[in-house]
Amino acid sequence: MQPHDLIRTAYAAFNARDIPAVLATFHPQVRWAKAWEGDYATGHAEVREYWLRQWQELDPKVEPTGIRERADGRLEVAVHQVVHDKQGQLVFEGPVRHLYTLREGLLQQMDIEPVPSGAEPT
């Protein structure tokens, strides 16, 4: 699977809450940034546990709006993120950047980079 297709597949599966489908796009030693807690979830089991815990309180939707390769080889994904709490109240809406390192054709690490206020992701 091409990297851009891998990214689109992962986001679609995440929004559908299809954890096995998302994990199929991840390297077994994935490191996933824990946006709401800090640090990383490492490996499929920790990522699954982190998401299940977060989804008890939050309902995030993430839509990629652009994908480009950086000079260092990482993929930068511009994302429009909308997060509601379980009562339907808006917690966050706006642009974020997700940075992916690929390994063996799979997503190995995801980092989050803030988007400066008023700036559109590249």
Global confidence as pTM = 0.90
The answer to whether 13 touches 94, Cβ cutoff 8 Å, is no
Q: Is 73 left (phi over 0), alpha (psi -120 to 50) or beta?
A: left
CA separation for the pair 118, 122 (Å, rounded): 13
Q: In this structure, which topology does domain 3-110 adopt according to CATH?
A: Nuclear Transport Factor 2; Chain: A, (3.10.450)
pLDDT tens digit at each of 122 positions of the chain: 899 999 999 999 999 999 999 999 999 999 999 987 889 999 999 999 999 999 999 999 999 999 999 999 999 999 999 999 999 999 999 999 999 999 999 999 999 998 876 655 44
Map tokens 């994990």 to a residue.
23
